[in-house]
Structure 1
Amino acid sequence: MSYFLILSKSHGSRMLSRFQSLREDRRMCDIILEAEGKEFLAHRTLLACSSDYFWSMFQDHTLESGAHTVSLPALTSVGLEQVLDFIYTSWISLSPSTLEDTLEAACYLQITDAVDLCTEYISDSLSLDNCCFFANVAARYGLSEAVADTNRFIARNMSKLLGPNRERSGLLELNIESLQEVLATQEMPGVKETVLLQFALDWLGCNPLPALESNSLLSRVRFSLVPPDELIRLSAQKPALRTPFIHSLVQKALHYHTQGPLQPLVQSVHTSLRATTNRILLVGGGREADRPQTQIQSFDERSRKFHKLSITMPKKLQYQGICVVGNFLFVLGGEVVEVDAENEKTAVMTVSDQVWRYDPRFDRWEEMEPLLQKRAQFSCCVVNGVIYAIGGRGQRGEPALSSVERYDMKAGCWRSGVALPHAVHGQACATIRRGIYISGGIHSNQPESSKELLFLNTHDSDAWERRSAMSIARFGHQMATIKECIYAFLGMYEPFCDIERYDPAQDQWTRLKPLLHDCFCYGLTVTAGGRALMFGGRKWQDGQELCTPDVLEYDPEYDSWKKVCKLPGPLCGTQCAVMTISELIEK
């Protein structure tokens, strides 16, 4: 015998509608609920089915089971009316003025569906004007999801909440649990740590706490991101910063500021910017060859938007080396280009040995210990926190260099490294773990581009080793490491657009799908997803060099190229670095 199990979608709502009609007509009501002197007629059966509180109340053995009127002194009349309307209609009308009364009644009467709707209302209605109020309400009634949502909203919008023209009374009344979570947040765009510290001190001024709780709150401030003179000034003024525990944190921060060259190696959460998304920086470059600019642009891979940084490079450089250590940007050597003010076609190029370090925490440049030799068109890389400057050339017309130097950050100086077997400039460089690979370039003993690949194990080797040569001779090209393989991209004036991949395990090169057109003097970087991005560059068109604004993406999984967006304008000669920066320095 067969049968069908069929659900009626209208039966439940129709039954509730009938109950509501009976309540409105005051028919068959067998209980009166009273709050603040106001009475509400209801039906025991429906109340018991909707609430664990009423289910227990109306059991046969309770006093309330036979009572005609039940008083609920813990509830407001507004809250009780709101909850009864929900029981009878499944609808609830919420506003900031009725939220607390409704939550109090729903929690007291154990009507979880109504509590869930209050949670949803808080999460969906957050604004700058109500977020602190909602955070306090959610914390008071233990609404964990709403608490998490409000805390995230406050952290994400803290720069606006702390704005100079906003009333801070809501923030100063924020509950301590939410404030602690906000101060511990990694993502807080557009907020200077000095402002955050001052706000925490102001909050403590309005909400005095025992030393233990005050220490717990202030320990979430990243004191190393506060300028030292400001730390010293506030410590002298605010007793909360002079407790033994917080004083020790302040002293550690002040010591960090004295570390100088060592700072990139002693990074921690206390020295890290409150940002979780890296930006691709386009350092230098210009609209035409030999005319570099000092601009630095940032690129957001997700939104594909470009921004100019508020700070520029110290000098107009080309063929420089750049690298990132401890979220500091290092700019090494290169050619300083000085254009004649009266005749822009005339420029003087001077090879430099200067080293500059940019700190995005305080948006400033600092000149570091210079290179041992002046270098341009050289290789620059980082292995285990050590910066390597490899080969290159001196002034134009001078022979190439075979020397290698490494920056000892602990000593704050450059030291000689393992020299190359021959002088070379215009080569490309990539690293895998502790190994350095350089390819191509022009050797001092030959006028043409090279196919050679050299390898140095920085851990235990005292000489460069020759590995399988590329299939194409290249100069002025770039390499990138993606998933333990090295990709060699186009160089200067190559008559074809092929790229190739090197597998160190097999010591073998493989030709890949060529680029759509020739390209050189571009910026190149690898995304977190393992794709290569190529920014701008120059190409040949109708017998002339043309600077392009195109941004191309190479997907190694499918061996495919595509154009993803355009730069704000044509750009060539830029170099790429991946860093965490503050939105405060983006225009």
Structure 2
Amino acid sequence: WLVIQRGLQIGRSIILIYLCDVSLVVDGQEFPAHKSLLACSSDYFRAMFKEYTKESKAAVIHLKVISATGLENILDFIYTSWLSLSMYSLEDTLEAACYLQVMDAIPLCSQFVVNNCALENCCFAANIASKFYLLDAMVASEKYIINNLWRLLQEDVDEVELLELNTKSMLTLLTSDDIPKVDEKKLLNLTLKWLQYDKIRLLNAKALFENIRYGLLPLDTLRELYTQSKVPLTASIKNLIIKAINYHSCPTKQPILQDKFSTLRSQKAWIMLIGGDANGELVENVLGFDVYSHKWRMVTNLQKKVRLHCTCVIGNFLYVLGGESPERLNDDTTEISLGITKVVYRYDPRFDQWIQVASMLEKRAQFSCCVVNNFIFAMGGRKEDQAIISSVEMYDVNRNCWTKSKELPCKMHGHASTLHKNIIYISGGKSAVQVNSSKDVYSFNRMEGQWKKQALMTIARFGHQMATVNDAIFTFLGIYEPFSDIERYDPVHNQWTRLRPMTFDRFCYGLVVVEQTVLLLGGKKWQDAQEVHTQNIVGYDTENDCWEEICSLAFPFSGLHCAILQLSDKSASM
């Protein structure tokens, strides 16, 4: 054995020939070897060299299935435990390893694919992994393709490799819920090209088309797909296309028509910063904030600059309601003033589009809103001439209309609201401009249709915020509060509890709940008897009753409202 090992250091091709007892011949090339070592390393050779077989007595054995390159690499592995691999030799090596049943070499090939997957070979790697059932390599290569599909679809990248992708990987691609920077139209075009690349693939058309998200395709694309004849469509697929066409024909109903075919391929939720002012100017830009990476992105522009408004989300559609907006005093002047509006706009992140839906029955600012079973409730607020109102109205998404609901127990504005188990809770506010802030809390069950008074807060609040986390309701700072205390309400026991005070005093901030943490974004604070903007974002851990500073806002926002939306991965980060 020492002699053999010494010969291997010089090169296996010059192993002492007189010690070899068999020659393996592939494609005219001869490879001397030792039967005993082959039998110890390969189930194939172990069975071949049994005493009763003809091959056990043969000095030369011809192997016709594998290549010379593959055999050479596997023999090197048998003799040295080292496996020399490249993408060029990978398939030959795997064929030899599988055919000769040298099983220890296969995980090494799989790991090689995982470690060397790149833009120029990822499709080939997926095909190899699929052909030889390399599960780890399959997962890694498919994940790489999904994350880099936007690069593979660029004009300067060879599209042929992508069109040669195996069926299983193509199906995995289309079933993915998170494909960065690729819109659905590009996925559809890729699918059509892939099916036409080899006519036998048309047998897989139904399985692939069932995973196209037709609600994310433009109307003209849907009609073109329905009428094309290059790829036959089954009746069930045509029904999906017709359903998507009908989806586009009822834009105001879309939030309640959501299913997997209209859900964005994005797992990331962004915090939207909507309206308010920065440095004394009303903000037009709607920004998105990723709390995990601290990245910002420009999302869209408001149809109207607004403050003292409300926002809510239904079916991943953003609604912006009422508030104060700039408007001309009359048609004959360019002078602008702030007027209270009843207009409602809706933003669709799928197509980056705004539409105006039915306006509220009354103009409102400094009011609150909640969503109950896909109905939007707009409650109280202030209208023109500083008049405080008690009216409540309800928006029916299905009918695109507002109807009156049970009025509040009293006129109020600057109050806060939240939802807990489909019951609306409102707190605080003022009943008139010069009256002190209120401690009152009311609840409203839509099924009962009545407002009920609940336990009072321990602090009177105005212009504050409420948030529901699990089974608790929290109230946070309002305007002109002398302390920084916050409170937790237990709806089951109708009881309030004081919590750790904020170390970051503020008002006119945005609020949003992310998992178990309540985030407060921007706003104003008192400094030397002056209102000054604050740019930091702070988080309140509801489980541990503690505060921490997260990061800073891109701009000194105040009076903003926040919502969480899933966005298409198109806009660049700031």
- Do both proteins adopt the same fold according to a TM-score greater than 0.5, normalized to the shorter chain? yes
* Correspondence for 1:434: 422
For 1:15 and 1:557, locate their aligned partners in 2 and report how far apart those are by CA, in whole Å.
Answer: 70
In the TM superposition, what is the alpha-carbon distance from 1:49 to its structure 2 partner?
2.2
* Correspondence for 2:373: 384
Q: Given the alignment, which residue of 424, 448, 455 partners 2:443? A: 455
1:511 is the counterpart of 2:498: yes
> For residues 149-548 of structure 1, what are the structure 2 equivalents within 5 Å?
149-209=140-200, 212-240=203-231, 242-289=233-280, 291-309=281-299, 311-337=300-326, 348-395=337-384, 397-444=385-432, 447-458=435-446, 460-528=447-515, 530-548=516-534
* Correspondence for 1:343: none
> For residues 551-566 of structure 1, what are the structure 2 equivalents within 5 Å?
551-566=537-552
SS in 2 for 1:348: strand
Runs ≥4 residues deviating over 6 A: none
For 2:135 and 2:504, locate their aligned partners in 1 and report how far apart those are by CA, in whole Å.
Answer: 55
Letter in 1 for 2:381: G
Q: Structure 1 vs Structure 2: percent identity of aligned residues?
A: 42
For 2:372 and 2:319, locate their aligned partners in 1 and report how far apart those are by CA, in whole Å.
Answer: 14
Inter-CA distance 475–76: structure 2 relative to 1 (3 Å threshold): same
* Correspondence for 1:549: 535
In the TM superposition, what is the alpha-carbon distance from 1:248 to its structure 2 partner?
1.6
For 2:308 and 2:156, locate their aligned partners in 1 and report how far apart those are by CA, in whole Å.
Answer: 46
For 2:142 and 2:381, locate their aligned partners in 1 and report how far apart those are by CA, in whole Å.
Answer: 52
For 2:7 and 2:408, locate their aligned partners in 1 and report how far apart those are by CA, in whole Å.
Answer: 90
SS in 2 for 1:282: strand
For 1:48 and 1:106, locate their aligned partners in 2 and report how far apart those are by CA, in whole Å.
Answer: 14
In the TM superposition, what is the alpha-carbon distance from 1:270 to its structure 2 partner?
0.4
For 1:538 and 1:568, locate their aligned partners in 2 and report how far apart those are by CA, in whole Å.
Answer: 15
* Correspondence for 2:332: none
Q: Given the alignment, which residue of 41, 57, 65 partners 2:56? A: 65
Deviates more, 1:374-383 or 1:346-355: 346-355
Letter in 1 for 2:198: N
SS in 2 for 1:191: coil
* Correspondence for 2:138: 147
The answer (yes or no) to whether the contact 2:276–2:308 under 8 Å persists in 1 is no
The answer (yes or no) to whether the contact 1:451–1:471 under 8 Å persists in 2 is yes
Q: Given the alignment, which residue of 39, 45, 63 partners 1:48? A: 39
Q: Deviations over 1:186-235 (max 9, x none)?
A: 11111111121112112222222465422222222111111111221333
The answer (yes or no) to whether the contact 1:336–1:350 under 8 Å persists in 2 is yes
Q: Deviations over 1:282-334 (max 9, x none)?
A: 11233235x3211111111221111111x211011001110110010011111
Letter in 2 for 1:452: D
Inter-CA distance 369–17: structure 2 relative to 1 (3 Å threshold): farther
In the TM superposition, what is the alpha-carbon distance from 1:236 to its structure 2 partner?
2.8
TM-score, normalised via structure 2 length? 0.94
SS in 1 for 2:123: helix
For 1:586 and 1:419, locate their aligned partners in 2 and report how far apart those are by CA, in whole Å.
Answer: 45
Inter-CA distance 347–543: structure 2 relative to 1 (3 Å threshold): farther
Deviates more, 1:37-46 or 1:398-407: 37-46
The answer (yes or no) to whether the contact 1:428–1:440 under 8 Å persists in 2 is yes
* Correspondence for 1:9: none
* Correspondence for 1:577: 563
Q: Deviations over 1:448-501 (max 9, x none)?
A: 10011111112x212111111111111111011111101111111211111111
Deviates more, 1:252-261 or 1:318-327: 252-261
The answer (yes or no) to whether the contact 2:285–2:298 under 8 Å persists in 1 is yes
For 1:392 and 1:306, locate their aligned partners in 2 and report how far apart those are by CA, in whole Å.
Answer: 32
For 1:387 and 1:209, locate their aligned partners in 2 and report how far apart those are by CA, in whole Å.
Answer: 51
In the TM superposition, what is the alpha-carbon distance from 1:31 to its structure 2 partner?
2.5
In the TM superposition, what is the alpha-carbon distance from 1:157 to its structure 2 partner?
1.4
Q: Deviations over 1:35-61 (max 9, x none)?
A: 112122222232222222222222223
For 2:258 and 2:561, locate their aligned partners in 1 and report how far apart those are by CA, in whole Å.
Answer: 25
In the TM superposition, what is the alpha-carbon distance from 1:280 to its structure 2 partner?
1.1
Q: CA RMSD in A?
A: 2.1
For 1:155 and 1:421, locate their aligned partners in 2 and report how far apart those are by CA, in whole Å.
Answer: 55
For 1:198 and 1:99, locate their aligned partners in 2 and report how far apart those are by CA, in whole Å.
Answer: 31
In the TM superposition, what is the alpha-carbon distance from 1:586 to its structure 2 partner?
4.2
* Correspondence for 1:96: 87
- In the alignment, structure 1 segments of 5+ residues that lack a partner are 1-11, 341-345
Inter-CA distance 78–242: structure 2 relative to 1 (3 Å threshold): closer
The answer (yes or no) to whether the contact 1:34–1:72 under 8 Å persists in 2 is yes
Q: Deviations over 1:57-90 (max 9, x none)?
A: 2222322222222221111110011111112222
In the TM superposition, what is the alpha-carbon distance from 1:99 to its structure 2 partner?
0.8
For 1:378 and 1:540, locate their aligned partners in 2 and report how far apart those are by CA, in whole Å.
Answer: 24
In the TM superposition, what is the alpha-carbon distance from 1:21 to its structure 2 partner?
5.1
The answer (yes or no) to whether the contact 1:16–1:89 under 8 Å persists in 2 is no
Letter in 2 for 1:525: V
TM-score, normalised via structure 1 length? 0.92
SS in 2 for 1:221: coil
In the TM superposition, what is the alpha-carbon distance from 1:20 to its structure 2 partner?
3.8
In the TM superposition, what is the alpha-carbon distance from 1:18 to its structure 2 partner?
6.1
Q: Deviations over 1:154-175 (max 9, x none)?
A: 1221111112332211111112
The answer (yes or no) to whether the contact 2:484–2:502 under 8 Å persists in 1 is yes
In the TM superposition, what is the alpha-carbon distance from 1:241 to its structure 2 partner?
5.6
For 1:521 and 1:62, locate their aligned partners in 2 and report how far apart those are by CA, in whole Å.
Answer: 89
Deviates more, 1:460-469 or 1:351-360: 460-469
In the TM superposition, what is the alpha-carbon distance from 1:33 to its structure 2 partner?
1.9
For 1:301 and 1:89, locate their aligned partners in 2 and report how far apart those are by CA, in whole Å.
Answer: 52
SS in 2 for 1:87: helix
For 1:494 and 1:339, locate their aligned partners in 2 and report how far apart those are by CA, in whole Å.
Answer: 35
Inter-CA distance 212–248: structure 2 relative to 1 (3 Å threshold): farther
SS in 1 for 2:66: coil
SS in 2 for 1:314: coil
SS in 2 for 1:194: helix
Inter-CA distance 285–172: structure 2 relative to 1 (3 Å threshold): same
The answer (yes or no) to whether the contact 2:297–2:571 under 8 Å persists in 1 is no
For 1:137 and 1:270, locate their aligned partners in 2 and report how far apart those are by CA, in whole Å.
Answer: 31
The answer (yes or no) to whether the contact 1:16–1:88 under 8 Å persists in 2 is no
- In the alignment, structure 2 segments of 5+ residues that lack a partner are 330-334
Letter in 2 for 1:273: L
Letter in 1 for 2:195: L
For 2:225 and 2:449, locate their aligned partners in 1 and report how far apart those are by CA, in whole Å.
Answer: 52
For 2:4 and 2:547, locate their aligned partners in 1 and report how far apart those are by CA, in whole Å.
Answer: 61
SS in 2 for 1:79: helix
Inter-CA distance 48–286: structure 2 relative to 1 (3 Å threshold): farther
Deviates more, 1:431-440 or 1:201-210: 201-210
Letter in 1 for 2:546: S
The answer (yes or no) to whether the contact 1:298–1:586 under 8 Å persists in 2 is no
Deviates more, 1:124-133 or 1:18-27: 18-27
In the TM superposition, what is the alpha-carbon distance from 1:26 to its structure 2 partner?
1.8
